[in-house]
A = this chain, B = another copy of it.
Amino acid sequence: MTTRLPPRSPARPAETVARRLSELVALSDAEAALVRGLGERRERHLPGDMLVAKGALDSRPRFILSGWACRQRILADGRRQIFSFLLPGDSISITRRSQPEVCAIHALTALETGDAQLVVNAAESGRAPGLAYALAALEPQEQTLLLDHMVRLGRQSAYERTAHFLIELQRRLKVAGLGDERRFPLPLTQEMMGDALGLSVVHVNRILQQLRRDGLIELRSGVAILLQPEQLADIAEARPPTRSAPIATPSAGRTGAAPA
């Protein structure tokens, strides 16, 4: 009896994206249909593939349908810093058309993306105010994740950092419809975690063992389980889920277009 999470939903490839956007605002049927259209124009990538080159000026807007990617920079001597992980349902080149210089997006696992050009067009045309709102709301979310990560790197111990990181993943993946309150897929090597958390592989390993010994987590074959989410959150000083909606209150019914 293997404890494997469903690897992908081949039936409705854009379901994850729809779920994610629905968290932000209620989409009309037409808008939801547009989002599901992401599955029409798919693209496959292999682990290690570069999705967006550093400093790319104008890459195609996409959503991740399955698989994980990351934004990262590699220093001259080989040291790597991962800025953020991109999960199923996350956007590429939508919140920020041009990548900042020296920050590339790489696939970490086998990956599927869906072309979001039609969705973006609809949002920008004014035909899909809900979508426009949802897309605009993605940016502050990303920004918050980035700042959270910065706090981890600058002001938290390896133990706190790792706990915080795992909680973030659990919360994000749950919104995407992957995993639940405790379990979620974790296809990262300890090296990737280290490069994100600013730790050596060896130390990541030791911290994970410590979290296991303390009965807080369980990790095996690509699946993570948070055994005591509340206690973990205490350690990490993780703030409550922090509902989004930072741009404007989506007035019921006909939502105004997002501010310029």
Which residues of A are in contact with B by a Cβ distance under 8 Å? 55, 57, 73, 75-77, 79-81, 83, 96-98, 100-103, 124, 140, 143-144, 146-147, 149-151, 153-155, 196-198, 237, 239, 242, 246-247, 259-260
A124 → chain B closest CB, angstroms: 6
- Other 19 A-B pairs with CB < 8 A, given A81-B151, A98-B247: A75-B237, A76-B237, A80-B155, A96-B143, A97-B247, A97-B259, A98-B246, A100-B147, A100-B246, A101-B239, A101-B242, A101-B246, A102-B147, A102-B239, A102-B242, A103-B147, A149-B150, A153-B153, A154-B196
Closest Cβ neighbor of A55 among chain B residues:
B246
| Cross-chain contact of A260 among B57, B76, B124 (Cβ < 8 A) | B124
Q: Are B155 and A83 in contact (CB under 8 A)?
A: no
The CA of A102 and the CA of B79, in the complex, are separated in Å by 30
Specify which chain B residues have a CB less than 8 angstroms from the CB of A124 in the assembled complex.
260
A91 → chain B closest CB, angstroms: 15
